[in-house]
Chains A and B, each alone.
Chain A
Amino acid sequence: MTLSITLVVNGDRHDVSLQDARPTLLDVLRDRIGLTGTKKGCDRGQCGACTVLVDGRRVNACLSLALTVDGADITTIEGLATGDDLHPVQSAFVACDGFQCGYCTPGQIMSAVGLIAEGDAGTDPERIREGMSGNICRCAAYPGITAAVLDAQARLADSERTNG
Chain B
Amino acid sequence: MNLFDYIRPATLPEAIAAGARPGASYLAGGTALLDLMKIGVAHPGQVVDISRLPGLDRIERLDDGAIRIGALVRNADLARDPGFAAACPAVAEALLSGASAQVRNAATLAGNLMQHTRCAYFQDPHSACNRRNAGAGCDAIGGETRGHAVLGWSDACIATHPSDFAVPLVALDAVVEIAGPDGPRDMPLADFYALPDATTPGGVTLAPGELITALRLPPEAAGFAANARYVKLRERTSFAFALVSAAAMLRIEDDRIAAARVALGGVAARPWRSSAAEAALIGATPGTDIFETAADLMVKGAAASGDNGFKIALARRITTRALTLAAAGTPARMPALPASVFAPVTGTASHA
- The residues of A with any CB-CB pair to B shorter than 8 Å are 3, 20-22, 24, 43-45, 48, 51, 57-60, 63-65, 67-68, 111, 114-115, 118, 120, 124-127, 129-131, 133-135
Contacts and interface: CB of A to CB of B under 8 A. Distances in A.
Contacts of B99: 45, 134
Interface of B: 1, 3-6, 8, 27, 29-31, 34-35, 38-39, 47, 49, 51, 76, 80, 99-103, 105-106, 237-239, 336-338, 349, 351-352
A65 B103 contact: no
Contacts of A24: 34
A45 B27 CA distance: 16
A51 B3 contact: no
Contacts of B38: 43-44
Contact of A45 (B3, B102, B337, B349): B102
B337 A3 contact: no
Nearest to B337: A130
A22 B1 contact: yes
B101 A134 contact: yes
Interface centre among A3, A48, A125, A130 (most CB of B within 10 A): A130
Contacts of B8: 67-68
A125 B352 contact: yes
B336 A130 contact: yes
Contact of B103 (A63, A115, A120): A63
B27 A65 contact: yes
B106 A63 contact: yes
Nearest to A136: B239
A-B pairs, top 6 by smallest CB distance, nearest first, are A134-B100, A21-B6, A133-B238, A126-B336, A126-B349, A133-B239
B12 to A, nearest CB: 18
B4 A21 contact: yes
B337 A126 contact: yes
Contacts of A63: 29-31, 34-35, 103, 106
Contacts of B239: 133-134
Given A3-B6, A22-B1, A57-B105, A133 B31 contact: no
Interface centre among A20, A59, A64, A127 (most CB of B within 10 A): A59
16 contacts: A22-B3, A44-B39, A45-B35, A45-B99, A57-B76, A57-B105, A60-B31, A63-B34, A111-B102, A124-B336, A125-B349, A126-B337, A126-B352, A129-B238, A130-B238, A133-B237
Nearest to B236: A133
A118 B5 contact: no
B171 to A, nearest CB: 24
A58 B74 CA distance: 13
A110 to B, nearest CB: 9
Contacts of A51: 102
Contacts of B1: 22
A115 B49 CA distance: 28
Contacts of A124: 336, 349
B103 A45 contact: yes
A40 to B, nearest CB: 12
A64 B337 CA distance: 27
Contacts of A131: 101
Given A21-B3, A45-B99, A126-B337, 13 more contacts: A3-B6, A44-B38, A45-B100, A45-B103, A63-B30, A63-B106, A114-B101, A118-B80, A125-B349, A130-B337, A133-B101, A134-B99, A134-B239
Nearest to A56: B105
A59 B106 contact: yes
A83 B3 CA distance: 41
A111 B102 CA distance: 8
A24 B47 CA distance: 14
A121 B338 CA distance: 12
A127 B349 CA distance: 9
Contacts of A57: 76, 105
B34 A65 contact: yes
Nearest to B237: A133
Contacts of A22: 1, 3-4
Nearest to A66: B6
A21 B30 contact: no
A130 B99 CA distance: 11
Contact of A58 (B6, B31, B101): B101
Nearest to B35: A44
Contacts of B31: 45, 60, 63
Contacts of B47: 21, 65
Contacts of A21: 3-6, 47
Contacts of A58: 101-102, 105
A120 B80 contact: yes
